[in-house]
Chain A
Amino acid sequence: MAIAVSQTRPVAVKKNRSQFYQSWKRFRKNYFAVGGLVWVAIFFIIGIIGPWIAPYSYTDADFLAMHAPPSAHHIFGTDQVGYDQFTQILYSVRYALEIALGATCVSFIIGIVLGLWAGLAGGIADMLIMRGVDFMFALPSFFFALILSVLLGKGLFPMILAIGVPGWAGYARLIRSLVLSMRNGEMVEAARALGASQTHIAARYMFPNVVGSMVVSLAFGIPADLTAQAGLSIVGMGLNPPMPSFGNMLANASSNILGFPWLLYFPASIFAITLLAFLFVADGLQEAFNPRGGM
């Protein structure tokens, strides 16, 4: 009886030496960045499954256990209204991600449209858009976000707009410069001279060369938006309580610090580590995509 031996013949693995693979290889060597990526992944998972593992609802105030220290019932303790802090943090993660990702998308979409317009049309449109960019850079976008948040109110969607809309200028400038460098680049000219089609040029020459800087700028944008959201809460323009957010928890805890330190341990450390993780990832991406630049 013939025994079927699974013969795994060593197949010559086709070495994937694409630009992305090389970037990934460089990224992998940066332990900080990989560690950051792991934390960011956990953060995302918690953001998705948070409501299912939350022991309470974030509107459930346990009036019999206000200011309770961490215990079996409330593993992170409760605040002055009796909100379970563990639940609050789980929902904070979710809202933080929704707002940060949403705001970054809003900024990026506006930036791409205006940047492409400025770069491709040139002339008066370019001039006007770049004046707009200068205007946005004259003041920190936090102030624009603050003013917009007065107009839009305090919900989840208004927050996304208030943080996202003022952030367009950086992306618009980046996209415009990429368009200009691509349009006048020798590489594209050479490809065109060899008879490459428009789509081929766009897919094989332009896209791989611009995607790196776009990914890097997005990776820096997300932690910046996380920070902006918490900052708005600190000056009282964040999500309306009882909707939890890291900013609300930090603002509330720092004014209630005496006697109730557990209100601060968990949100402060988790928020700080998360921002660090995002930044390590962004920094790693920058090095991976642009090994010569940077310091």
Chain B
Amino acid sequence: MGVQRSNIIFAWILLLPAVLYVAVIVAYPLVETFILSFTDASLRKVTNWVGWINYEKIFNATFAEVIIRTFIWTFFSVALKMIIGTFGAAMLNTAVPGRSLFRLLTMPPWVVPMAIGIFMWGWMYNGQFGMISGMLQRLGLVDGPVAFLAYGGTAFWATIITDVWIGVPLVTIYFLAAIQSIPKDLYEAAWTDGAGRFYRFRRITLPLMVPSIITMSMLSLIATFNSFDIIWILTQGGPSGQTTTMIIDTYQTAIGSKKYGEGAARAVLICIFLSAFCFAYFRVTRRLNPEKRA
């Protein structure tokens, strides 16, 4: 028992700094957000309790729109990341010459500071002088310049594409590792039975990738739901609010208009959604590998 107890004490000594740090910088603000959401906190010195008013305020027509938009935005972004990531991983897994170079070339969007990648996309989306509009005109697909970020519909998709671009490298590398952990003899057995390459991919690779795809799409869902930089730099939520997601809306309310109380109520709502996703994630991963300890 003595050894056991000294082990536990030692473990806690090791953990304490990290636990305290996260408690002060993350847990305490989380609690304070919750408390603030019931006040009219702003730049003024006095702060009053206002009860549920902040929550009542956010449930107007435009906010319902923001929630729906956030979910649509997140859905398409995650779905595209999964599809492109699977495609990329399958291609990079092939034994063709040059593949280690191709794998290396997949990484840049992930390692480059996000803001820089976003600036580059911002220029490509430029209507008069940007690459995409220019190329489309060259190919005769559109008549005049298309200012992608100036119209709600195109800006919505433009921000999704940029988010996908930033997320794809990690998804691809993760899926590549998942494919490589599939036992080789499965493929060899299928090959001896005369199964073609595409058939082997559809019947062996894809089914065995399903757990990884589910895990990754949950993780990606959470990250994408939190996505801020891309929309903020490209459109700041515009034009006329057409790319305003919940995070952007919260930022505009809290930091832009300095309505801390109202902003906090919106943040609490985001936290509720995120907690639901987290809960689902833990449930799903536990079901996928039941024997796992943590």
The answer to whether A and B come from one shared complex is no
Chain A positions near chain B (C-beta within 8 angstroms): none
